[in-house]
Copies of this chain bind each other. A is one copy, B any other.
Amino acid sequence: MKHEDFHQHSHHNHNDCIDTALETAETLCAEQGQRLTKVRRRALELIWESHRPLGAYQLLAKLAEEGFNSAPPTVYRALDFLLGAGLIHKVESMNAYLGCAHADKAHKGYFLICDECHNVMEFDYQDIHAALIEKAAHQGFELRAETIELTGLCAKCKEKSVGASA
């Protein structure tokens, strides 16, 4: 079962996701001589504990509650570090941050964002990626990063809205 499908079900133990993500983070940072300090680690955990993308100031508030410094640079530094390490993604259309489910493999974060419940699924389609590279190259463009954010109605909310209108 893929991680993103997993997230579609309500009963999974999300703690497993968090644990896995944190372990991966530790490993990656160790390998690259990066320091996963307390704030950074806790920030990553808090982002994962939220099932949906977390705003910088929401995260800052949570960190502040736990005794971390409560000024904006604290959270933006942690976010910059985590983004740089590929441990989280920024959802540009929401100004919010999301744990990356595939931090171990270099990849592009493609997102399905539900307009209704604001849950986000990450998906990873090699064929689309390949097609985009090819099409960009066709115009002489060398692709470096992709922001792919699709919004609409997720399966659960679609069911609900059908039920409501019936």
**Residues of A that sit less than 8 Å from B by CB:** 4-5, 8, 92-93, 112, 114-115, 121, 123, 125, 127-128, 131-132, 135-136, 139-155, 158
Q: Are B135 and A154 in contact (CB under 8 A)?
A: no
Q: Are A152 and B143 in contact (CB under 8 A)?
A: yes
Q: A131-B128, A155-B141 are in contact. Are A150 and B123 (CB under 8 A)?
A: no
For A143, give the chain B residue with the smallest CB separation.
B152
For A146, the chain B residues whose CB sits under 8 A away are: 148-151
Q: Are B131 and A144 in contact (CB under 8 A)?
A: no
CA of A136 to CA of B115, assembled, Å: 14
CA of A43 to CA of B147, assembled, Å: 27
Q: Are B112 and A141 in contact (CB under 8 A)?
A: yes
Q: Are A140 and B152 in contact (CB under 8 A)?
A: no
CA of A150 to CA of B121, assembled, Å: 20
Q: Are B153 and A142 in contact (CB under 8 A)?
A: yes
For A151, the chain B residues whose CB sits under 8 A away are: 143-147
Q: Are B154 and A145 in contact (CB under 8 A)?
A: no
Q: Are A136 and B150 in contact (CB under 8 A)?
A: yes
Min CB distance, A32 to chain B, in Å?
A: 23
